[in-house]
Amino acid sequence: MPSTTTCRRSHTRFRMPDDARATVEFVHPHPAGHHCCMKLRDISASGVSFFLSGDLPGLDVGDSIDRVTINIEGYELHGDLLVMRLTPDASRGAVCGALFYPRGDKNLHALNVLLEELDRDGSLRVD
């Protein structure tokens, strides 16, 4: 019998254009690892996905990535990630999808302002 996967996504997603200055930065493994700067693929109210620019041995679904900075065209958001998928794995070129937990009210507000701006523009919306 075939298995089915239910998509948890319930918020509008915004795909970053190839030329966008949009990154996800963190240290892996935290706290004594190396600085990683990954290209942001998309963002929504609940999470992000990004391309792995190199292999991240040991990164797996269910892992937390602490003290993340998301930079999007002048916006800087700080928070933590919970890895929900790695397609196909934690190797260079793969896509990592994660829930985003903003650090405090200031970052939650900044995320909401960014998403409102992206929604008004409309050109990056993924249906």
On whether residue 4 sits in a domain, the answer given is no
Q: How confident is the model at residue 1 (pLDDT cuts 50, 70, 90)?
A: very low
On whether residue 8 sits in a domain, the answer given is no
**Average pLDDT value for residue range 30-43:** 92
Measured over all CA atoms, what is the biggest interatomic distance in the chain, rounded to whole angstroms? Answer: 48
Q: What is the CATH number of the domain that holds 88?
A: 2.40.10.220
What pLDDT digit, counting tens, does each position of 59-89 carry?
Answer: 999 999 999 999 998 899 999 999 999 999 8
DSSP code at position 54: S
Structural domain containing residue 68: 13-121
Domain total of the chain: 1
On whether residue 31 sits in a domain, the answer given is yes
How many percent of the chain have pLDDT more than 70? 91
Tokens of 8: 């948890």
On whether residue 46 sits in a domain, the answer given is yes
Residue 121, SS3 per DSSP: helix
| Residue 96 burial class via C-beta count within 10 angstroms: exposed 0-12, middle 13-18, buried 19 and up | buried
Distance CA 18, CA 28 (A): 25
How large is the C-alpha radius of gyration of the chain? 14
**What is the pTM for the complete model shown?**
0.87
On whether residue 19 sits in a domain, the answer given is yes
DSSP code at position 124: T
Pick the residue with more confidence: 60 or 30?
A: 60
